[in-house]
Amino acid sequence: MGLAAREIENAGMSTVVLSVMPEVTAAAGAPRVVGIGRPPGCPLGDPGDADGQRQVLRATLEALARIDEPGGRLDLDAQGPPRSQRYHPEEPVPIVQLIKRKPWLAARLMSGDIPESEEDGA
């Protein structure tokens, strides 16, 4: 996201990136970074917690207004882990199921060679 934000800034539009790893995001060149103390699986909070998610988004947009120059960073108050400690679905997503069934496809997928059907090796 940092690289994309930098390119958008170069085109003349201000950006802000919300990050659970703000040091990494800033190192990637994001012009404005807002750090949040949440686990990577749910940086905005619990699923279904619309009010909490709105608070994070509002704080992020307010940071965009407060950080005048590219290169700025703001850390939101540490939110701690969400109430729900379940970060992963009960059943793995389809791509994970595929790699578990056919692990040799991982290298193909990472290189961008995406099989479209079972005949293609999926």
Residue 11's pLDDT is what?
92
Domain identity same for 41 and 12? yes
Structural domain range at position 108: 88-122
Domain count of the chain?
2
Percent of the chain with pLDDT over 90: 2
Domain identity same for 97 and 60? no
Across the chain, mean pLDDT equals: 78
Residues in Cβ contact with 5 at an 8 Å cutoff, skipping those fewer than 6 apart: 15, 16, 17, 29, 30, 31, 32
| pLDDT over threshold 70, residue 115 | no
Domain identity same for 64 and 92? no
The SS3 assignment for 84 reads: coil
| pLDDT over threshold 80, residue 82 | no
Domain identity same for 11 and 57? yes
User: What CA–CA distance (Å, rounded) separates 94 from 34?
Assistant: 32
Band of residue 14 on the pLDDT scale cut at 50, 70, 90? confident
State the average pLDDT over residues 58-85. Answer: 76
Domain identity same for 38 and 65? yes
The SS3 assignment for 85 reads: coil
Domain identity same for 55 and 6? yes
Domain identity same for 22 and 52? yes
